[in-house]
Structure 1
Amino acid sequence: QIARCFRDEDLRADRQPEFTQVDLEMAFVDVDNVLDVVERSLSYVWKQVIGVDVPTPFRRMRYDDAMRDYGSDKPDLRYGLKLIDVSEVARKTDFKVFTDTIAKGGVVKAICLPGGAEMTRKESDGLTAEIQGIGAGGLPLCKVVAGAGGKLEVQTGMAKFLPGDLGSEMIQATGANNGDMLFFSAGKFADVCKYLNWLRITLAERRKMIPKGRWEFLWIIDMPAFEWSEDEKRWVFMHHPFTMPHDEDLPILESDPGAVRAKCYDIVLNGVELGSGSIRIHDRNVQSRIFRMLGLSDEQAMAKFTHLLTALQYGAPPHGGLALGLDRMAMLLADLSSIREVTAFPKTQKAFCPLTECPSDVDGKQLDELGIDLNAATKAKRKAK
């Protein structure tokens, strides 16, 4: 089906609260069947619309590998700039930021920018200020240059913490060459991914490293089924609680939930998520186990999901699907950078529609008819207008 959707989420260049998606729901399938149908469909569209032959099957990448190498679950593969774990070298330094981080169980990662040594102090200071603006403590860096006798060494920035052989170890660990620049980030794995992913994209865009006319389709697979919530102090489902775990992971569902992989998958193109989907749970016993893990008793689960558990009791075929963002596809096919350009009546960053002037205030009479009351803060704002 082609569905018109409304979703309350943060607005970005590739998001609008009102959008169109192409939904696929398929019975008697597993992951490979869904991926095959989507690949052939997208390849056909790209050929018909812009005359580009897209080879199939698409590349597949495990979620853990994507986060390790790119710091993102939707990496743009048109350029390199992989994230490199340099924790083993960093632990030998006297740089307190590095050593303290590793002592606390964190990681130190680096990006090697080819030819980056030509970057001016103004440029590197600007990057440091920007990355601090998204929460990073700073941006340690150093240049790789040929020293006496042509031997590579590190200079400027944090080079003083990488003297002699230690500098050579770092150069070898990052695969750096003469004229490159090394950028570092230290902290919790998730934070390092966030900051270096931003840096990777920013460097590629500003230094014009992204080739035109190249289409890098990618499947992200084997995502974790659960993630630990520090706020709630319990495991929560990463995708949704109706996603089927990998069959071979079912024996460790309760004993090691962090190692359980879900049968879900994202289709990514040039760093943009085109769609997401999963194989659903069709076994009532598995579904009940998932609900118990999420803190629902059997009675609570039945009260909340009577229709689902009753249906599964009588048997359901293995089934799954995927939803493609039609607007995002149009944006990329038209070589545009914002989904607003392919949306008839786009909303502003505050989700306001300039055409219909919605959402707008609702008068008191309408609220009374619906039995809706406003909190004190909202009432005060309305009175102040």
Structure 2
Amino acid sequence: MYRTHNCGELTRKDIGREVILSGWIQKIRNFGSLFFLDIRDYFGITQLILYKELVKKAFFLGRECLIQVKGKVIERSSKNLNIPTGEIEISVCHINLLNPSLSPPFTIDNKTDGNEEIRMIYRYLDIRRNPIKNNLIIRHNLTLETRNFLSKNGFLEVETPILINYTPEGARSFIVPSRTHVDKFYALAQSPQLFKQLLMIGGIDKYFQIVKCFRDEDSRSDRQIEFTQIDCEMSFVEVHDVLAFFEHFIKHIFRKIKNIELDSFPCISYSDAIKMYGTDSPDTRFGMSFVELNDLIKKIDINWLKKEELVVGIKVNEYENIHEKIDFFLKKIENKNFFWIKYLHDKTLISSNQNFLSKKILKIFIEYFKALPGDLLFFSYGEKIKTREELGKIRLKIANFFNLKKYEIFNPLWIIDIPLLEWEEKSKKYKSVHHPFTSPKEEDIHLLENNPKGIRSKSYDLIINGIEIGSGSIRIHNKNIQNLIFKHLGLSKKEIKSRFGFFIKAFEYGIPPHGGIAFGLDRLINLLERHTNIKDFIAFPKSNYGKDLMIDAPSFLEKEKLKELHLPY
């Protein structure tokens, strides 16, 4: 028997009991004839006390050695009420070394001295630390809650293939050579998109899957080349059905996992999001929506701004110490088409364009924004798209620099009516904003022939605190519309048949109206726990360069293996 109890369960009620524990040595405190050891396992930490002859044996032990001890539970004289076992300790009568350990390359503790790279190389050691272990427990709880909730609501969990044919879905695919089919390749699935739609054609009413997906993109703190989706699809639904149900789902997850009650999720059109915040994933926790000023500029006749396609501004309300830091912040902004106005507490007005803006004009701006003493105004001007984009970046810089993001608040919203297609100048053809199977809005279908750029789609993104957590759409269930979309994407009839022939064929057998959504599981947990790096919630993540530092993947293949796969070497 390796243990009678784990290292996190013994308390005062166990005093006097003979026990056996097994675990790793967390700390050693040497007092000559007396040794204190902290022994750790998955469940917690227990303090051991070693006397006399056992001390000699302990001299050969080090941190992370795996030991088994027998002893009696006694009351601890110096109690630690921060841990469940802090009122007791084990008076050890026998100690057995199960496995020695090298000195770990970083401190295995809640606050470690190991940087991210070294911790990824020794990820199995990093998992021993409570922060990473607890994150994996949270991930487990979230996936369990997801499975239970969706299953109770009539969703069927179905696994779909990982090795599929290459199809253009927006991102680059990982390609896998076939050994048995010479010169042919699989692709790793970027998502289960086509298969979940085929399940709806197959008569499955509601589907879900917690699924691994693969995209050959640059990794970031919020993106990995392999990631996990909560993937869902429903038959006989429209946009409002999907949004209502999955708002209910997200509210349930926040309540169960974090005991947080969310308000109703507002809907904002894509065009309004760009117009108000300069981005399709706005963080609305700190206000500062854009105010368009072109009409005002014409009215007050500011010549050097009248010629600009767009003039837009934001107001920053007075915050503590904001004026003490503002000069340092302004030096960080590298934007020529930009100016600001300070409205000081003594009602003095200062502008970055004192030579071009009179005091009278500055007062007009202050009145127009209904600014109060202590407020700041920021302005951007130029071409419409670039101006909104630049002011959107400045808005976020302001929020970050002055700590305006309230981390205890979660502001979810739906972005709807996203464009169906966008023109790609480099390839001189359209590409899908979401994917080629997204349905256009009925009132825009007439634009398919002559003005595809103006078509809005039946798609929706869930944004929480400026982070895209989920994305989905109602799917095309009309064969002619689907073929027309493929045509706009520049696919020939031959390409459509070779890549999507099986899918188009399925349209001839009574395809139901259907739609769905996929949530990024890694991002959702990261957001719930208010972290900034999804790697902390993945057991074995890749680096920002897409490399597994622990197993040194990707790696070169031997010539014999390349030959077996019919690849050049």
TM-score interval, normalised by the smaller of the two chains: 0.7 to 0.9
- Does structure 2 conserve the Cα–Cα contact (< 8 Å) formed by 1:327 and 1:342? yes
Change (3 A) 1:343 1:137: farther
Rounded Cα–Cα distance in structure 1 between residues aligned with 2:443 and 2:526: 39
Which residue is equivalent to 1:93?
A: 302
- Determine whether 1:167 maps to 2:376: no
Which residue is equivalent to 2:316?
A: 113
Unaligned runs of 5+ in 1: 375-385
Q: CA deviation at 1:235?
A: 3.4
Q: CA deviation at 1:262?
A: 0.3
- Does structure 2 conserve the Cα–Cα contact (< 8 Å) formed by 1:159 and 1:167? no
- Does structure 2 conserve the Cα–Cα contact (< 8 Å) formed by 1:242 and 1:280? yes
Change (3 A) 1:246 1:169: same
Rounded Cα–Cα distance in structure 1 between residues aligned with 2:365 and 2:471: 38
Change (3 A) 1:334 1:158: same
The worse-fitting range, judged by mean Cα deviation, of 226-235 and 280-289 is: 226-235
Rounded Cα–Cα distance in structure 2 between residues aligned with 1:235 and 1:123: 43
Which residue is equivalent to 1:69?
A: 276
- Does structure 1 conserve the Cα–Cα contact (< 8 Å) formed by 2:233 and 2:516? yes
Q: CA deviation at 1:37?
A: 1.8
Which residue is equivalent to 2:407?
A: 212
Equivalences for residues 138-217 of structure 1 within 5 A: 139-145=338-344, 154-217=349-412
Q: CA deviation at 1:244?
A: 0.4
- Does structure 2 conserve the Cα–Cα contact (< 8 Å) formed by 1:277 and 1:322? yes
SS at match of 2:490: coil
Which residue is equivalent to 1:382?
A: none
Correspondent of 1:84 among 291, 301, 308: 291
Equivalences for residues 317-332 of structure 1 within 5 A: 317-332=512-527
Q: CA deviation at 1:23?
A: 0.6
Equivalences for residues 250-265 of structure 1 within 5 A: 250-265=445-460
Change (3 A) 1:197 1:121: closer
> Which deviations, in whole Å up to 9, do the C-alpha atoms of 1:197-252 show, x marking residues without a partner?
22212211221222232121111101111222232344332221110001111122
- Does structure 2 conserve the Cα–Cα contact (< 8 Å) formed by 1:86 and 1:174? no
Q: CA deviation at 1:347?
A: 1.8
- Determine whether 1:42 maps to 2:247: no
The worse-fitting range, judged by mean Cα deviation, of 78-87 and 59-68 is: 78-87
Which residue is equivalent to 2:36?
A: none
Give the letter aligned to residue 347 of structure 1. Answer: K
SS at match of 1:35: helix
Rounded Cα–Cα distance in structure 2 between residues aligned with 1:365 and 1:297: 38
Q: CA deviation at 1:265?
A: 0.5
Which residue is equivalent to 2:229?
A: 21
Equivalences for residues 210-359 of structure 1 within 5 A: 210-359=405-554
SS at match of 1:26: strand
Change (3 A) 1:119 1:65: farther
What is the aligned length? 357
Rounded Cα–Cα distance in structure 2 between residues aligned with 1:212 and 1:81: 17
Q: CA deviation at 1:365?
A: 4.2
Rounded Cα–Cα distance in structure 2 between residues aligned with 1:163 and 1:138: 18
- Does structure 2 conserve the Cα–Cα contact (< 8 Å) formed by 1:83 and 1:109? yes
Rounded Cα–Cα distance in structure 2 between residues aligned with 1:125 and 1:51: 39
> Which deviations, in whole Å up to 9, do the C-alpha atoms of 1:302-358 show, x marking residues without a partner?
343211211112220001111111111211222212212212122221111121111
> Which deviations, in whole Å up to 9, do the C-alpha atoms of 1:278-318 show, x marking residues without a partner?
11101001112222223334454334321121111222000
Rounded Cα–Cα distance in structure 1 between residues aligned with 2:239 and 2:266: 14
Q: CA deviation at 1:138?
A: 5.9
Cα RMSD over matched residues? 2.5
SS at match of 1:261: coil
> Which deviations, in whole Å up to 9, do the C-alpha atoms of 1:24-54 show, x marking residues without a partner?
0111111111112211111111111111222
SS at match of 2:547: coil
Unaligned runs of 5+ in 2: 1-208
TM-score (norm 1): 0.84
Q: CA deviation at 1:271?
A: 1.2
Which residue is equivalent to 2:556?
A: 361
> Which deviations, in whole Å up to 9, do the C-alpha atoms of 1:95-118 show, x marking residues without a partner?
4xx456x2xxx4222222223772
Q: CA deviation at 1:94?
A: 4.5
SS at match of 1:78: coil
Which residue is equivalent to 2:332?
A: 127
- Does structure 2 conserve the Cα–Cα contact (< 8 Å) formed by 1:89 and 1:169? no
- Does structure 1 conserve the Cα–Cα contact (< 8 Å) formed by 2:422 and 2:453? yes
TM-score (norm 2): 0.58
Q: CA deviation at 1:2?
A: 0.7
SS at match of 1:265: strand
Change (3 A) 1:119 1:188: farther
Q: CA deviation at 1:177?
A: 2.8
The higher radius of gyration belongs to 2
SS at match of 1:5: strand
Rounded Cα–Cα distance in structure 1 between residues aligned with 2:550 and 2:478: 48
Q: Which structure carries more helix by proportion? A: 1
Q: CA deviation at 1:274?
A: 0.8
